[in-house]
Structure 1
Amino acid sequence: MGRAARISSSLAMALLLTAGALTAGAQEGGEPPSLSLELNGAEATERGCRLTFVAANRLGEDIDRAAYEVALFGTDGLVKRLTVLDFKDLPDGQTKVRQFDLPDIDCEGLGRVLINGATACEGGENACMDALKTETRGSVAFGT
């Protein structure tokens, strides 16, 4: 093999390795930073309704405290209550389960949980709303 062919072959190999590394990096870090909240369940209790959330911090930084004002809507579309849910600390790279007991709220009559905004976001510089992703596992709608 001549010198030009060896250089071309080496250059082609280097380009392939670089492309492979870039593709692998894009797959590993391709997801944008996010803070996800999943309404995982609504369970009737003796006093009212217990909401269970799964929170996953994938922001690249710890949240020392995250609290949200939420509006609870009935299945009739009417606002039943405004309240604040304090998720406390949400360390980066971790998933936490948080439960909130809501006295005098009927789970069966709960149709939607709306996040009005963050009342506290310590350590995340507005990431509590800017990077927020919401989802629900049950029949109660959840989001912003």
Structure 2
Amino acid sequence: MATFPRFLPLALCAMASFAQAAQADPLRIELNALHPRDGACQLVFVAQNGTGADVSRLVLEAVLFGQQGQVAAMTLLDLQDLPADRMRVRSFEIGGLSCGDVSRLLINGLNECAPADSAACTAPLALESRVPVEVLQ
């Protein structure tokens, strides 16, 4: 009859914890709404930090494209702090841009992310859109 070492349950528990950490949710950024404002377009984002680590600052470099594929605007989106396992809503007004003219939003990269070694700063973002604007990276 085979016997199991006494440390086997502890090892299995540690392996399960490691697997859960490796499968932590990414940082999700959703373009949730577009609102026309007087001479501007307000972009509303919902950010969900599922990485398990606080992000003290996240600034994204964003490029908005018009209906004909031309670059309509480039801007920095300062999402500020994103606590672990919390949802935050942030909005930005882009002057001189009609919401109906926006066809795509490219997250060109991270302009700033702190702490730099956190999972949110090193893993790819999970991007989504609830409006008819394609969001990509």
Whether TM-score is above 0.5 comes out as yes
Q: Contact between 1:33 and 1:131, CA under 8 Å: does it hold in 2?
A: no
Larger relative helix fraction: 1
Q: 1:129 to 1:117 in 2, by over 3 A?
A: farther
1:53 aligns with 2:45: yes
Q: Which residue, 100, 125, 128 being the options, matches 2:121?
A: 128
TM-score normalised by the chain length of structure 1: 0.77
Gaps of 5+ in 2: 4-12
1:39 aligns with 2:21: no
Number of equivalent positions:
132
Q: Contact between 2:116 and 2:122, CA under 8 Å: does it hold in 1?
A: no
Q: Contact between 2:26 and 2:126, CA under 8 Å: does it hold in 1?
A: yes
Q: Secondary structure at the match of 1:76?
A: coil
Q: Secondary structure at the match of 1:86?
A: strand
Please give the alpha-carbon distance, in whole angstroms, between the structure 1 residues aligned to 2:122 and 2:63: 16
* Larger-gyration structure (1/2): 1
* Amino acid in structure 2 at the alignment position of 1:141: E
Work out the percentage of aligned pairs sharing the same amino acid. Answer: 34
Please give the alpha-carbon distance, in whole angstroms, between the structure 2 residues aligned to 1:123 and 1:30: 19
Structure 2 counterparts to residues 89-104 of structure 1, below 5 A: 89-104=81-96
Considering only aligned residues, what root-mean-square deviation do their CA atoms show, in Å? Answer: 2.8
Where in structure 1 do 4 or more consecutive aligned residues deviate above 6 Å? none
